[in-house]
Copies of this chain bind each other. A is one copy, B any other.
Amino acid sequence: MYRIPILRMGRTLLVTIQIDMEDQTAMALQNDLAEQIVKTGARGVLIDISALEIVDSFVGRMLAGISSIGKILDATTVVVGMQPAVAITLVELGLSLDGVKTALNVSKGMALLEAAAQGDSFVT
């Protein structure tokens, strides 16, 4: 089975989804990310989907799932690089990705994660 690699950059995990995922790959990614968040103490997860031209309801739910799991494990998830057609399809599918943070590109996503981390610094 094809596994999507997870890159660690400081306290952020970076995932680039490059090809249409089979369900098994999507499930594995969810599990691997949860494991890596706990193992590395990451506070942010950045998922780049700029290469995806189609996002079906399964992948949409998977993205929402990762975001929810991340939240429980105290990590913020940001999905970046969504193509306009993908955004349109998601809404047509009735998936508004509630609770999933998005940003136009990786740089903006990183800025969002840094802002979220700084908001935390008062608490920790």
Copies per complex of this chain: 2
Instruction: Mark out the residues of chain A between 12 and 58 whose CB falls within 8 Å of any chain B CB in the assembled complex.
Output: 14, 16, 18-19, 48, 50-51
Interface range on chain A (Cβ under 8 Å from partner): 20 to 34
- Nearest B residue (CB) for A16: B16
Q: Does B107 contact A9, Cβ atoms closer than 8 Å?
A: yes
- Are B2 and A19 closer than 8 Å at their CB atoms? yes
- A85 CB, nearest partner CB in chain B, Å: 16
The main secondary structure of chain A at its interface with chain B is loop
Contact residues of A between 81 and 113, Cβ < 8 Å to B: 81, 105-107, 110
List residues of chain B with CB within 8 A of the CB of A18: 2, 4-5, 16, 18-19
